[in-house]
Amino acid sequence: MNTVPVIAIDGPSASGKGTVAQRVAQRLGWHYLDSGAIYRLAALAAIQKGVALTDEPALAKLARHLDISFAHNHIYLDGETVDDAVRAEETGNAASAIATLPALRAALLDRQRAFRQAPGLVADGRDMASVVFTDAKTKIYLTATAEIRAQRRYRQLLEKGLLEQADNAIFDRILQDIRDRDARDSARTVAPLQQSTDAALLDTTELGIDEAVNQVLALHHRNP
């Protein structure tokens, strides 16, 4: 058994788990794994290369040979930075769709586990506690209401200048996309989105980022 400690944080889209996990990793001086980014990179590569999102064998082959890296707070695909492209709604929806495919998930499993290196790893995703790092000492299911998550995603788009102005129709679409992804991720037969029975529930609906980070660290210190 790998003795390198892991904090596994699962949760639905836009719950804030990525930001929280990254800050926890920085506070501890540990490595960080954004498993959702790996699926998004696979989806982005499929879109760029014209691979159908329903072609499971081709997607699995593509996933096994992805040229990806995370460095200096940037995400790279084939040597090019793809930070904005990998976070686009189209890419996120495509990632959610291909994540239902068993062959693709199997192809990416070992790549995710390879991030487990000393002194420790903070990993966020949909199945970090239930599938990828089942022996993690600290397991957390981080969530928030769909409305709050939609507001966060909408505000993020505005702050990044990806929206020219406030638009209620766009907010409504983001909210519906989040609800659709929740339903799809929870209903899939392979590694569905769910709270692991041994994971602590952390609802961030009324929490700021610093408060959430401190709660995760407190849970970790109880289970070093």
User: Residue 124's beta-bridge partner residues?
Assistant: 9, 34
In the chain, what's the furthest Cα-to-Cα distance?
52
- Yes or no: domain 6-222 corresponds to CATH 3.40.50.300: yes
Query: Which pLDDT belongs to residue 128?
Result: 93
**Low-confidence spans in the chain with pLDDT less than 70:** 1, 162, 164-165, 224
Query: Which pLDDT belongs to residue 4?
Result: 94
Query: Which pLDDT belongs to residue 1?
Result: 56
Q: What three-state secondary structure class fits 196?
A: coil
Query: Which pLDDT belongs to residue 5?
Result: 95
Residue 199 known to bind ligand: no
Q: What is the DSSP letter of 79?
A: T
- Give the CA angle between residues 167, 184, 172 to the nearest 5°: 10
Residue 29 known to bind ligand: no
- Give the start-to-end residue ranges of the domains of the chain: 6-222
> Which two three-digit tokens encode residue 83?
């930070």
Give the C-alpha separation, 193 to 42, whole Å.
Answer: 19
Residue 18 known to bind ligand: yes
Residue 16 known to bind ligand: yes
Residue 14 known to bind ligand: yes
Q: What three-state secondary structure class fits 125?
A: strand
